[in-house]
């Protein structure tokens, strides 16, 4: 996984609560398992009409937000199905930071497995960010968000911060200690076949 | 400690844990299905490319695999995923792979209790959000993403933040014509779809004592719709009998201490509940059936891990016996064992005589996959668990969530109907 760097970008405002993973990636795409290429299915039913033409009023179809890497949304983002495809789609589309007042548990955890930073902020600050039109800077190292007029700090678990900064995931982190694990297993009195 | 804390403490090898502690706990059982399985295989491929050995699993006897979302395969991608899954289980020596067309199979959460895959006191994780269902057996059961499941398959452990527990005290036996589904919809309506976020939702009280194990499964299944980490019920003799009938032995019943702590307690008068539905497009958007909008329904769907257990089919059959359906009605038993009992006890005949179609076990149209998905503007009454836009098919279709009794009564009239008014 790539290490997480500073993200400097405008925000894409998605002023909706309870954005569930069925909306993030509809079920018909779940059969596919490659991690890349899911960006084109992101918010599929909100982005395209029946004939798969872009719906002009949906925020992702507004060219002003074309290069945005930061999505700001309402409460309980990522609720519903546990599909990890939801995070794959956000990341593949270009979002590496999601800011919301609250997240659904499994989605929140899935973000860290894939190098996406979910930031939980107070409702009022999120509302302010939803209206922010300028470029903002998300600095994970210092846990700050700089807007043209403000500097906001955010909380993150130190372990989750470390895995994002170093581009690790739980599995590769464990395998950093493979030598020690093997050594321990050799010393163990219980035969490993048990 | 309460039951969830006790189970997590045991798994973590600690004498006690408290909410917000992060613990590294040993997992007792792990499940994946035909959507999460191929995702896990992809994670394994990635690890292998990084030079990490994925030659063997931590313990293949603790892993079981279900085929449910896209079976029977409707097209070639799904078919290929099933082949991939079969290769994987063969390669890693996973024997508990429930294959469609080969005896017992069904929706993963249903198999978890029908086949006694999970025991009281277990730490059980699955690659599906409704893994919470199985907490009704007195286990700690929660859903994880693909990467986490891959990690558990290799290491047998994973970290958990010990959740706070909301205790729901349910007072009194549910009235006739009211089912656990009505009660859990009512609870979600009260606390909201994020009302249980990161929390344990524990159910107890005389309402639970009176409830069958299958009704408790419905309660825990839908804790996912309130955002809960897990749903749980303390195990009692009913759970022991239920699992014993399904071949289980040596159960270790974990219960909370007398001085167990809960971060919040809610009380619901279960004896006063009424048939309830959740209107589109959220499980929290509830009303009692008698105040539901007078819409013309197009379909009735009785299926899924939430609403196609044996008890659910029996409830639908009580209504459909000697009556005819007025709208398209599909009934999909959630596992072959349930299908078989339904056949032996005459339920299938009642359904067919009523004009309904009976399909094979599958997640099917509950997740909008296949087997009866909804067209634009179609309105469905369904015993499933989610009614987000497009969940069961077209993004402009509508789903009302209901109990099997309400769904069957509505199938008979073509309108959302309280079973008492038939």
pLDDT tens-digit profile of B27-37? 999 999 999 99
Contact criterion met (CB < 8 Å) for B369 and A23? no
* Three-state DSSP class for residue A70: strand
And the tokens for B375? 């067209």
Q: Report chain A residues whose CB lies below 8 A from the CB of B43.
A: 171
CA distances from residue A127 to A14, A17, A72 in whole angstroms, order as listed: 11, 12, 9
**Closest-CA residue of chain A to B38:** A33
What was the pLDDT predicted at B50? 87
Which helix (H) or strand (E) segment holds residue A47: the answer is helix A44-47
Could you give phi then psi for residue B89, rounded to 5 degrees? Answer: -65, -35
The CATH number of residue B153's host domain is 3.30.499.10
Contact criterion met (CB < 8 Å) for B144 and A32? no
- Asked if residue B291 and residue B190 are part of one domain, the reply reads no
Contact criterion met (CB < 8 Å) for B194 and A83? no
Which helix (H) or strand (E) segment holds residue A185: the answer is helix A178-187
Contact criterion met (CB < 8 Å) for A33 and B81? yes
Average pLDDT on B76-104 reads 96
Q: Is residue B12 part of a domain?
A: yes
What was the pLDDT predicted at A191? 39
Cα gap B226→B191, rounded to integer Å: 8
- Asked if residue B339 and residue B216 are part of one domain, the reply reads no
- Asked if residue B283 and residue B242 are part of one domain, the reply reads no
Please give the distance of CA A86 from its chain centroid, rounded to a whole number: 9
Q: At what angle do helices B310-320 and B404-413 cross, to 10 degrees?
A: 30
Contact criterion met (CB < 8 Å) for A82 and B77? no
Q: Is the pLDDT of residue A110 over 70?
A: yes
Q: Report chain A residues whose CB lies below 8 A from the CB of B230.
A: none
Q: Report chain B residues whose CB lies below 8 A from the CB of A82.
A: 36, 127-129, 143-145
Q: Is residue B404 part of a domain?
A: yes
Please give the distance of CA B80 from its chain centroid, rounded to a whole number: 26
**Nearest by CB: B42 against A28, A35, A105:** A35
Distance from the B310 Cα atom to the nearest Cα atom in chain A, whole angstroms: 24
Confidence of residue A194 (pLDDT cuts 50, 70, 90): very low
Contact criterion met (CB < 8 Å) for A30 and B35? yes
User: Would you mind telling me the total number of residues written for chain B in this entry?
Assistant: 422
Average pLDDT on B69-80 reads 92
- The number of CA neighbours under 13 Å toward the Cβ of A108 is 21
Best A20, A82, A115 member to test B by mutation, with max B CBs in 10 Å, is A82
Confidence of residue B261 (pLDDT cuts 50, 70, 90): very high
Q: Is the pLDDT of residue B152 over 80?
A: yes
Cα gap B1→B15, rounded to integer Å: 10
Cα gap B391→A149, rounded to integer Å: 41
* Burial of residue B249, with CB atoms counted within 10 A of its CB: 0-12 exposed, 13-18 middle, 19 or more buried: exposed
Cα gap B340→B291, rounded to integer Å: 37
In this prediction, what percent of chain B has a pLDDT beyond 90? 96
Q: Is the pLDDT of residue B355 over 90?
A: yes
Contact criterion met (CB < 8 Å) for B227 and A79? yes
What was the pLDDT predicted at A1? 75
DSSP structural state of residue A20: B
Q: Is the pLDDT of residue A190 over 50?
A: no
Q: Report chain B residues whose CB lies below 8 A from the CB of A79.
A: 193-194, 227
Q: B371: phi > 0 → left, psi -120 to 50 → alpha, else beta; which?
A: left
If contacts are CB pairs under 8 Å, which of residues 34-93 in chain A contact chain B? 34-35, 45, 75-76, 79-85, 87
Q: Is the pLDDT of residue B284 over 60?
A: yes
Residue ending a domain, choose from B239, B268, B297: B268
- Asked if residue B214 and residue B283 are part of one domain, the reply reads no
Contact criterion met (CB < 8 Å) for A82 and B70? no
Q: Report chain B residues whose CB lies below 8 A from the CB of A31.
A: 35, 70, 77-78, 81
Contact criterion met (CB < 8 Å) for A110 and B151? no
Residue numbers of the domain that contains B407? 274-421
- The number of CA neighbours under 13 Å toward the Cβ of B106 is 28
A127 near B CB under 8 A: no
Q: Is the pLDDT of residue A164 over 50?
A: yes
- Asked if residue B293 and residue B244 are part of one domain, the reply reads no
First CA to last CA across chain A, in angstroms? 34
- Asked if residue B113 and residue B54 are part of one domain, the reply reads yes
Higher pLDDT, B60 or A168: B60
Average pLDDT on A104-116 reads 94
pLDDT in tens, B52-71: 889 999 999 999 999 999 99
Contact criterion met (CB < 8 Å) for A22 and B386? yes
And the tokens for B380? 């469905």
Q: Is the pLDDT of residue B303 over 70?
A: yes
Cα gap B209→B225, rounded to integer Å: 23
Confidence of residue B216 (pLDDT cuts 50, 70, 90): very high
Q: Is residue B71 part of a domain?
A: yes
Task: Identify whether the C-beta of residue B263 lies closer than 8 Å to the C-beta of residue B165.
Answer: yes
Residue boundaries of the structural domains of chain A: 7-168
Cα gap A19→A74, rounded to integer Å: 8
* Pairs of residues, one from chain A and one from chain B, whose beta carbons lie less than 8 Å apart: 115
What was the pLDDT predicted at A181? 74
Q: At what angle do helices B76-91 and B36-49 cross, to 10 degrees?
A: 60
Distance from the B303 Cα atom to the nearest Cα atom in chain A, whole angstroms: 17
Q: Report the mean per-residue pLDDT for chain A.
A: 90
Q: Is residue B136 part of a domain?
A: yes
Whole-angstrom Cα Rg for chain A: 19
Please tell me the total count of domains within chain B: 2
Which helix (H) or strand (E) segment holds residue A145: the answer is strand A144-146
Q: Is the pLDDT of residue B102 over 80?
A: yes
Checking ipTM against 0.95, whether it exceeds it is no
- Asked if residue B202 and residue B59 are part of one domain, the reply reads yes
Q: Is the pLDDT of residue B4 over 60?
A: yes
Higher pLDDT, B75 or B412: B412
pLDDT in tens, A20-68: 999 999 988 887 766 678 999 999 999 999 899 999 999 999 999 989 9
Cα gap B314→B316, rounded to integer Å: 5
Residue ending a domain, choose from B268, B296, B318: B268
- Asked if residue B297 and residue B223 are part of one domain, the reply reads no
Q: Report chain A residues whose CB lies below 8 A from the CB of B38.
A: 33
Contact criterion met (CB < 8 Å) for B146 and A105? no
Q: Is residue B256 part of a domain?
A: no
**Closest-CA residue of chain B to A169:** B147
- Asked if residue B174 and residue B47 are part of one domain, the reply reads yes
What was the pLDDT predicted at A193? 37
Q: Report chain A residues whose CB lies below 8 A from the CB of B143.
A: 82, 106
Quote the longest CA-to-CA distance of chain B: 65
Choose which CATH entry (3.40.50.300, 3.40.50.970, 3.30.200.20, 3.20.19.10) describes domain A7-168: 3.20.19.10
Distance from the A99 Cα atom to the nearest Cα atom in chain B, whole angstroms: 17
* Three-state DSSP class for residue A136: strand
Q: B414: phi > 0 → left, psi -120 to 50 → alpha, else beta; which?
A: left
Q: Is residue B257 part of a domain?
A: no
Q: Is residue B255 part of a domain?
A: no
What was the pLDDT predicted at A35? 64
Q: Report the mean per-residue pLDDT for chain B.
A: 96
Q: Report chain B residues whose CB lies below 8 A from the CB of A76.
A: 193-194, 197, 227
Q: Report chain B residues whose CB lies below 8 A from the CB of A101.
A: none
- Alpha-carbon torsion angle B273, B274, B280, B284, nearest 10: -10
Q: Which residues pair with B106 in a beta bridge?
A: B335
Cα gap A35→A2, rounded to integer Å: 14
And the tokens for A158? 């130190």
And the tokens for B28? 């007792």
Q: Is residue B142 part of a domain?
A: yes
Q: Report chain A residues whose CB lies below 8 A from the CB of B42.
A: 33-35
In this prediction, what percent of chain B has a pLDDT beyond 70? 100
What was the pLDDT predicted at A168? 83
- Rounded to the nearest 5 degrees, what angle is found at the Cα of B36, between the Cα atoms of B30 and B40? 80
Task: Identify whether the C-beta of residue A152 lies closer than 8 Å to the C-beta of residue A145.
Answer: yes
Whole-angstrom Cα Rg for chain B: 21
For chain B, give the secondary structure using H, E and C: CCHHHHHHHHHHCCCCCCCCCEEEEECCEEEECCCHHHHHHHHHHHHHHCCCCCCCCCCHHHEEEECCCCCCCCCHHHHHHHHHHHHHHHHCCCCEEECCCCCCCECHHHHHHHCCCCCCCCEEEECCHHHHHHHHHCCEEEECCHHHHHHHHHHCEEEEECCCEEEEEECCCCCCCCCHHHHHHHHHHHHCCCCCCCCEEEEECHHHHCCCHHHHHHHHHHHHHHCCCEEEECCCHHHHHHHHHCCCCCCCCCCCCCCCCCCEEEEECHHHCCCEEECCCCCCCEEEHHHCCCCCCCEEEECHHHHCCHHHHHHHHHHHCCCCCCCEEEECCCEHHHHHHHHHCCHHHHHHHHCCEECCCCCHHHHCCCCCCECCCCEEEECCCCCCCCCCECCCCEEEECCHHHHHHHHHHCCCCCHHHC
């Amino acid at each position: 996984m790539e290490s997480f760097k500073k993200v400097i970008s405008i925000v894409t405002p998605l002023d909706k609560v309870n954005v569930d993973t069925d909306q993030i990636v509809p079920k018909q795409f779940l059969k596919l398992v490659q991690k890349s290429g899911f960006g084109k299915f992101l918010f599929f039913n909100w982005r395209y009409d029946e004939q798969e033409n872009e719906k002009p009023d949906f925020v992702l179809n507004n060219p002003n937000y074309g290069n945005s890497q930061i999505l700001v949304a309402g409460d309980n983002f990522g609720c519903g199905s546990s599909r990890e495809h939801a995070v794959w789609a956000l990341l593949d589309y270009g979002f590496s930071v999601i800011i919301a007042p609250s997240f659904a548990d499994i989605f929140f955890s899935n973000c860290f497995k894939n190098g996406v930073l979910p930031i939980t902020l107070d409702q009022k600050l999120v509302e302010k960010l939803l209206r922010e039109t300028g470029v903002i800077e998300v600095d994970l190292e210092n846990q700050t968000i700089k807007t043209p007029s403000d500097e906001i700090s955010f909380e993150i678990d130190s372990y989750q911060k470390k895995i994002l900064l170093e581009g690790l995931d739980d599995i590769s982190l464990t395998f950093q200690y493979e030598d020690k694990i093997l050594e321990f297993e050799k010393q163990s009195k219980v035969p490993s076949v048990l | 400690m309460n039951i969830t804390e006790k189970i997590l403490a045991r798994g973590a090898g600690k004498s006690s844990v408290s909410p917000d502690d992060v613990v590294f706990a040993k997992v007792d059982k792990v499940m994946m299905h035909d959507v999460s399985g191929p995702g896990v295989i992809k994670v394994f491929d990635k690890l292998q490319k990084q030079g990490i050995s994925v030659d063997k699993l931590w313990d293949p006897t603790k892993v079981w695999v279900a085929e449910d979302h896209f079976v029977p395969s409707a097209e070639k991608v799904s078919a290929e995923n099933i082949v991939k899954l079969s290769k994987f289980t063969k390669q890693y020596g996973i024997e508990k792979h429930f294959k469609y067309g080969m005896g017992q199979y069904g929706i993963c959460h249903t198999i978890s209790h029908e086949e006694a895959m999970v025991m009281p006191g277990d730490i059980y994780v699955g690659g599906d959000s409704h893994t919470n269902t199985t907490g009704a057996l007195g286990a700690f059961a929660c859903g994880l993403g693909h990467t986490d499941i891959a990690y558990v398959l290799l290491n047998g452990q994973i970290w958990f933040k010990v959740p706070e527990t909301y205790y729901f005290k349910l007072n009194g036996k549910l009235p006739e014509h009211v089912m656990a589904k009505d009660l859990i919809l009512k609870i979600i309506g009260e606390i909201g779809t994020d009302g249980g976020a990161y929390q344990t939702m524990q159910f107890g009280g005389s309402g639970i004592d009176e409830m069958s194990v299958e009704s408790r499964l419905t309660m825990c299944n839908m804790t996912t719709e309130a955002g809960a980490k897990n749903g749980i019920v303390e195990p009692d003799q009913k759970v022991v009998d239920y699992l014993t009938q399904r071949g289980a032995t040596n159960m270790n019943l974990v219960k909370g201490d007398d001085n167990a702590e809960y971060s919040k307690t809610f009380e619901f008068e279960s004896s006063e509940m009424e048939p309830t539905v959740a209107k589109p497009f959220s499980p929290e958007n509830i009303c009692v059936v008698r105040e539901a909008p007078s819409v013309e329904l197009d379909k009735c769907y009785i299926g899924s891990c939430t609403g196609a257990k044996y008890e659910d089919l029996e409830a639908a059959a009580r209504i459909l016996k000697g009556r005819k359906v007025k709208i398209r009605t599909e009934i999909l038993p959630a596992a072959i064992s349930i299908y078989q009992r339904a056949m032996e006890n005459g339920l299938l005949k009642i359904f067919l005589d009523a004009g309904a179609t009976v399909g094979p076990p599958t997640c099917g149209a509950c997740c909008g996959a296949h087997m009866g998905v909804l067209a634009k503007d179609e309105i469905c009454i369904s015993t499933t668990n989610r009614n987000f836009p497009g969940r069961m098919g077209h993004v402009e279709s509508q789903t009302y969530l209901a109990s099997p009794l309400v769904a069957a009564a509505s199938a008979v009239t073509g309108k959302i109907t309280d079973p008492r008014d038939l």
